[in-house]
Amino acid sequence: MSKFSDWKIRTKLLLLMGVTVVVCVVTLLGYQTWHELTTNRTELNRFEAEEVAKVRQNLKNFVNIAYETIESSHRNSQNQLYLEAQYGYRLKNIIDVAESMIVVQIEGVKQGDLSLTEAQEQVKRAIASMRYDAGVGYIWINDTGRPYPRMVMHPTVPALDGQILDDPKYDTVGEDKKNLFRAFVEVCEANGEGFVRYLWPKPTAEGLSEDQPKLSYVRLIEEWDWIIGTGIYIDDAILAAKEDSKKIIKQMRYDGGVGYFWINDTGKPYPSMVMHPTVPALDGQILDDPKYDTVGEDKKNLFQAFVEVSEASGEGFVRYLWPKPTEEGLSEDQPKESYVRLFEPWNWIIGTGVYIDDIDAILNEKREEAQQGMVRTVSVSIGISVVLLIAALLILSLVLRAVTNPIAKMAKWSNFLAEGNLTKRIEFDGKNEIGTLSSNLNRAVESLRNLIDGIKVGSDQNVEAKQELVAGTKQTVVLLTQIATNTNSIKDQISNLNNQITNSSASVEQISANITGLNNQIEDQSSAIEESTASVEEMLASIRNVAGITKVKKDSTEKLVETARDGGQKLSTTGTLIEEITGSVDNILEMIAIINGIASKTNLLSMNAAIEAAHAGEFGKGFAVVADEIRKLAEATTENSKKISGVLAGVVEKINQAYTSSQATKKAFDEIDKEVGEVALALSEISPSPDVLRRRQSFQ
């Protein structure tokens, strides 16, 4: 299996664009599905919230009605006018009975049947024994004394009888804490009778309780200055109000008689049922049965949940499971939501609930409809997406073909270029970027071909210049060799001449000395000439010998002069050749400079071609290789030109040194020629001297 990097550009682009389109389509489908799910979930949640809000509002309204009933009963149980209207007639009836007994005794006293004291004692005993409300209700008697009255008779606290009722503990009437017995007197003196509300201990089976709210009715018995009274404890009125409230709420129904209210207290750890209209057996029962553990995942006791919600906020909603009544009986546990509200004065929790399984059923139905709608929508979207995907891939394939075909042509052209064929052109005449690139590459190859032709011409010129340089160099070497040979010959001849001149100088010096001596002898010893004839002959023989040697040396000197002159001429010729070689080398250097310029331009052109190939990207790699090879060739040409220039510069320097040396040698030869000429002249002058001497000697 080929590597991904070896795939064609068209295949890569088609795969890339196809994957991109598929990812986009899948993303859009995913987003659409998510949006549908979110919208459906939002709608369902909104519907559920609205339905639950309606249900909760209805529950709240129903409970508020029941709550108002209880609150009204409680308010009435605390309202004195209500208590007077509700219980006043009973209290009056009781006092009427007691008063009728007193009236009988008053008539008995008036008729003289008994004394006032006896009559009052009989009345006190009779009233003390009167009880009502299961023995809790009683009647007392006090007088109208000032500033505080006195207790005449109290059936439950006989120790008070005869006591002045000024103890501060009786200051329990109203906010200003007025003495309750003085209040009785004031009411009776004002109206003859009336109601007073105050605090008083309540008799119980265990004795007297703490002070409790009480409403009493008192009436003045003017004949005896007595005030008789009886009362009802407010808590009894509250109990009656509670019972009345329970009876009323027990009868309350809504929703076609299905909806009802229950009441439980706030007992801990489990509350008790105060009233349940459909299951009266629960009344008074502690609600700790595990069957009530139906709230939430942790299965909390639902009545405990009612208490917690009510104590936390005074009211609230609790959702739980509870069997639903049907025509066939109770169903399985169904979701139910109840609203509870705390009536704090009585520690009652009033609640009612409604089954919400119908809401769940509607939600499930809507959820199913939403899912089906979403499936239809997604299916249609998928179908449309597949069609669009196929169409997009077809269009993309056509577009990629239009894009990649020119690239394929360029790749094929680059193969020819990589093989060194610079005659091929890219056949594409578009006006887009690829067309521009093709045109630029064609122009670059044309420029490269012209450059290579120029390089070939320059290379041929370099070869010719090199051959001329080699020939000139060889000729220079031959001339230098001849110069060296001639120089060595001249050196040897000069050395021999020097030796001969040295020997000649010695002989000349000896001759000069001898001549000097001879002159002296001639001047001093003229008389002895005859005796010196033999010596003169010997001297003449020596002179002849010197003359012969001098002649020989003269001839040698003349030959040496000729040789020196010939060497000088050859050196002059060598200098001329060196000057010509130097001119040729200068021409070669100029040609090398031209080659360097061509190489520099070639290098610049190859760099431009490489840049164009880099811009072409993958399509210009073949051309980039050729451009790189051309750049390397230009660099190699430049380097070789520099080396040749360096070598030629060294040759020119050596040639200049040789020329300078040859000029110096020529000058030396000229001086040698001059000196040797002078020696030859001297020898010429010396050569005839012996003959002169000899002639003179003969003459003498």
Confidence of residue 694 (pLDDT cuts 50, 70, 90): low
Whether residue 620 has pLDDT greater than 80: no
**Orientation angle between helical segments 357-418 and 433-524, nearest 10 degrees:** 40
Over residues 201-260, the pLDDT tens digits come to 776 667 666 778 888 999 999 999 999 999 988 777 788 889 999 999 999 998 888 889
Average pLDDT, stretch 145-166? 95
Which residue(s) pair with 326 in the sheet?
329
Which DSSP string corresponds to 175-243?
Answer: TTTEEHHHHHHHHHHHHSEEEEEEEEEEEETTEEEEEEEEEEEEEEETTTTEEEEEEEEHHHHHHHHHH
Among 243-252, 266-275, 476-485, 498-507, the range scoring the smallest mean pLDDT is 498-507
Q: Where is pLDDT greater, at 690 or 566?
A: 566
Whether residue 690 has pLDDT greater than 60: no
**Is-contact 532 665, C-beta < 8 A?**
no
Q: For 276-407, where are the E strands, in sequence order?
A: 293-295, 300-301, 315-326, 329-343, 348-355
Among 132-146, 342-356, 653-667, the range scoring the smallest mean pLDDT is 653-667
Over residues 518-570, the pLDDT tens digits come to 456 546 544 544 554 555 466 556 556 655 666 666 676 667 667 667 766 76
Q: For 413-475, where are the E strands, in sequence order?
A: none
Q: How many CB atoms lie within 10 A of CB 691?
A: 12
56: left (phi over 0), alpha (psi -120 to 50) or beta: alpha
**Among 300, 345, 344, residue whose Cα is nearest residue 319:** 300
pLDDT value, residue 117: 94
pLDDT value, residue 699: 45
In this structure, the strands spanning 315-326 and 329-343 are: antiparallel
Which range in 502-506, 599-603, 622-626 is most confidently predicted, on average pLDDT? Answer: 599-603
Tracing tokens 């004031």 back to the chain, one arrives at: 186
pLDDT value, residue 566: 72
Q: Is the dihedral of CA 389, 395, 401, 403 positive or negative?
A: negative
**Is-contact 154 160, C-beta < 8 A?**
yes
Whether residue 483 has pLDDT greater than 60: no
**Is-contact 335 55, C-beta < 8 A?**
no
pLDDT value, residue 515: 45
243-262 as b/e, with b when 16 or more CB fall inside 10 Å?
ebbbeebbeeebeeeeebbb
Whether residue 362 has pLDDT greater than 90: no
Confidence of residue 353 (pLDDT cuts 50, 70, 90): very high
Whether residue 70 has pLDDT greater than 70: yes
Whether residue 471 has pLDDT greater than 90: no
Classify residue 470 as exposed, middle or buried by CB count within 10 Å of its CB (0-12, 13-18, 19+). exposed
Instruction: For the chain, give the percent of residues with pLDDT over 90.
Output: 30
pLDDT value, residue 318: 95
Which residue(s) pair with 150 in the sheet?
164
Average pLDDT, stretch 347-358? 90
Name the DSSP class of 407.
H
Average pLDDT, stretch 481-493? 62
Q: What is the dihedral of CA 284, 286, 291, 292, to 10 degrees?
A: 90
Over residues 373-397, the pLDDT tens digits come to 777 877 887 888 788 878 877 887 7
Q: Give the span between the Cα atoms of 210 and 408, in whole angstroms.
A: 112
Over residues 423-470, the pLDDT tens digits come to 777 766 666 766 777 777 777 777 777 777 777 776 676 667 667 656
pLDDT value, residue 154: 95
Tokens of 576: 């001329």
pLDDT value, residue 625: 65
Q: Where is pLDDT greater, at 192 or 426?
A: 192
